[in-house]
Amino acid sequence: MDRKKTDGLVGLFVLAGVGAAVFLALRVANLGGVELGDAIEVRARFDNVGGLKPRAPVKSAGVTVGRVQSIGFDDKSYQAVVTLSLDRRFQFPKDTSAKILTSGLLGEQYLGLEPGGDSAMLEAGSTISMTQSAVVLENLISQFLYSKAADSAPSTGASGGPR
């Protein structure tokens, strides 16, 4: 076969392969999109992180402003220590509170930030003190059952003993 034709065809093949790899990197794995330009690390302590995972989004007002870096355990206070990296472009007040929320009924868990009113801002290495733990289904059900039992106890008492 013609030399030039072979070269051209092989060039096309290599370009297609490299293009596919770039597509996988940028469109599928979102390389570059997830990277936070310049991030500060902040910590938050939780009684229970539920199903939160490293790399889960940190959102404020529904907009992703950072990512969960790592989740550790403190054996002094028996709490989970969540390290998050926040985009430096966004400044949050010192009394910002963090909540673990779920997107949808069965969706992924993420960290929600609710800004406070302090004039000082969160800096690298500071700790978010106001946190709300993840909702654990079993606790929710037992709470519900206890409150049901508490509601129905006086009414059965009034009607005169157990049936």
Partner 1 sequence: MLGMTQHITQLGQSVREGVSNTGRASRYLLRLLLGAFRAFGRPRLIVDQLHFVGNRSVAIIVVSGLFVGFVLGLQGYYTLRRYGAEQALGVLVALSLVRELGPVVTALLFAGRAGTSLTAEIGLMKAGEQLAAMEMMAVDPFQRVLAPRFAAVLLSMPLLAALFSAVGVLGGWLVGVPMIGVDDGAFWSQMQGGVDFVDDVLNGVVKSLVFGLTVGFVALLTGWDALPTPEGVARATTKTVVVSSLAVLGLDFLLTALMFGTR
State the residues that interact with partner 1 by CB under 8 A: 1, 6-7, 9-10, 12-14, 16-21, 23-25, 27-31, 33-34, 55, 57, 104-108
> For residues 28 and 149, which CB has a smaller minimum distance to partner 1 in the complex?
28
Please count the other Cβ atoms lying within 10 Å of the Cβ belonging to residue 93. 13
Task: For Cα atoms 17, 5, 8, give the angle at the middle one, nearest 5 degrees.
Answer: 30
Number of H helices, E strands in the chain: 2, 8
Q: Which residues of 12-47 are buried (b: 16+ CB within 10 A; e: fewer)?
A: eeeeeeeeeeeeeeeeeeeeeeeebeebbebebbbe
> For residues 23 and 73, which CB has a smaller minimum distance to partner 1 in the complex?
23
One-letter amino acid at 146 equals Y
> For residues 107 and 162, which CB has a smaller minimum distance to partner 1 in the complex?
107
> For residues 29 and 124, which CB has a smaller minimum distance to partner 1 in the complex?
29
> For residues 34 and 141, which CB has a smaller minimum distance to partner 1 in the complex?
34
Q: Report in angstroms how near the CB of residue 31 gets to partner 1 at its nearest.
A: 4
How many whole angstroms separate alpha carbon 134 and alpha carbon 101? 7
Q: Report in angstroms how near the CB of residue 44 gets to partner 1 at its nearest.
A: 21
How many whole angstroms separate alpha carbon 7 and alpha carbon 83? 52
Q: Report in angstroms how near the CB of residue 22 gets to partner 1 at its nearest.
A: 9
Q: Report in angstroms how near the CB of residue 93 gets to partner 1 at its nearest.
A: 28
Q: Report in angstroms how near the CB of residue 19 gets to partner 1 at its nearest.
A: 8
